[in-house]
A and B are shown apart, each in its own frame.
Chain A
Amino acid sequence: MARAALLGRLASRIRWQVATVRDLREETAETRTLVLDVPDWRGHLAGQHVDVRLTAEDGYQAERSYSIASAPESPKLELTVEHVPDGEVSTYFVEDLLVGDRFEVRGPIGGHFTWRVEDGGPLLLVAGGSGLVPLMAMLRHRAARGSDVDARLLLSARRLHEVIYRDELAALGDVGVSITLTREQPDGWQGFGRRIDAEMLEAVGPPPASAPRVFVCGPTGFVEQAADLLVALGHDPGAIRAERFGPTGG
């Protein structure tokens, strides 16, 4: 009986649920945040993702995974979706989705790439482009809990107008936020202006000797580059957690 109850509980954990769009926020020209209502949402950890499933009238289905952007403490589930050229799901989400629309989600998914305040720090977050999304959930979680864990973020983006959550990043207060713009820097830009390298990671810190928990998220090539640099600097490979996204359909 206990076993049946347990199996029932486990099975229910990953069932598909209907999400209703409550609000839509334009983050950049190519990126949008979907604010969702999911009845019976059982909560999540910062860094986790959801699978989403769209079903067309003819029964055709498309599934994708998106990182959760909102903190576990947030009353609504938020996903930030970047438009992938020719990506059927991201194009629909970024260009066509309306408040009140519904689609299916299942999750939260994945315990590997997660951080809780209780896990401690220091925290080093390295993001390439929209790889910022799950790391932002960690920073929002940290802020919601009033944590003073030493946290640093290095974000690599091509241009300033492609940086998501810009105002919120500027208002994070005690988080060390560093941005590098790899393609184009506005006049008077104070941040970095090149691809990530060892010198940049050293400047951002914290040093390997302080044994930070490191989370790297971005396109596969970016994550490889960052992870190699971090290991070469002396960071423990076992303390580096990575999440890559690639050309999986968008």
Chain B
Amino acid sequence: MSDEDLWLDGNAIAGLLAELFGIDMTTVDRACATCGRHHEVGAHRLYRGAGLVLRCPSCDDVAMQIAVLPDRRVLTLRGSWTVEVPG
């Protein structure tokens, strides 16, 4: 299996992100802390291992890490996230 087979899109964890944030996160814009480019969360690369890691599709910088533990989820965010919540 090549590295290429191991990653998907942020879209693939849209359900988990909606559960955590209460809104659809795939259309949320993130500006990368390293390269400065803007991408929607759904367009980020998703790597699944012991946890979940979202990376910038332009420079591979880590955008989000999610550790799923028995009693909680631990999120680490990097970069500039612009989240709009209706209301």
Q: Please report A residues at the B interface, Cβ cutoff 8 Å.
A: 2-3, 6-7, 10-11, 13-14, 49, 51, 65, 106-107, 109-113, 219-221, 224, 241-248
Contact = CB atoms under 8 A, between A and B. Distances in A.
Interface stretch (B37-45, B59-67, B75-83): B37-45
B4 A221 contact: yes
Majority SS of interface residues in chain A? Answer: mixed
Interface residues of B, number: 27
Given A2-B87, A107-B15, A113-B42, A244 B26 contact: no
Contact of B8 (A2, A14, A245): A245
8 contacts: A10-B23, A11-B22, A65-B12, A109-B24, A111-B27, A220-B6, A245-B12, A246-B8
Contacts of A244: 7-9, 12
B11 A110 contact: yes
Interface in B1-22: 1-2, 4-12, 14-15, 18-19, 22
Given A110-B24, A112-B26, A113-B11, A13 B5 contact: no
A112 B5 CA distance: 21
A51 to B, nearest CB: 4
The interface centre, meaning the residue of B2, B6, B10, B14 with most chain A CB atoms within 10 A of its CB, is B14
Contacts of A113: 9, 11, 26, 42
A106 B43 CA distance: 21
A110 B8 contact: no
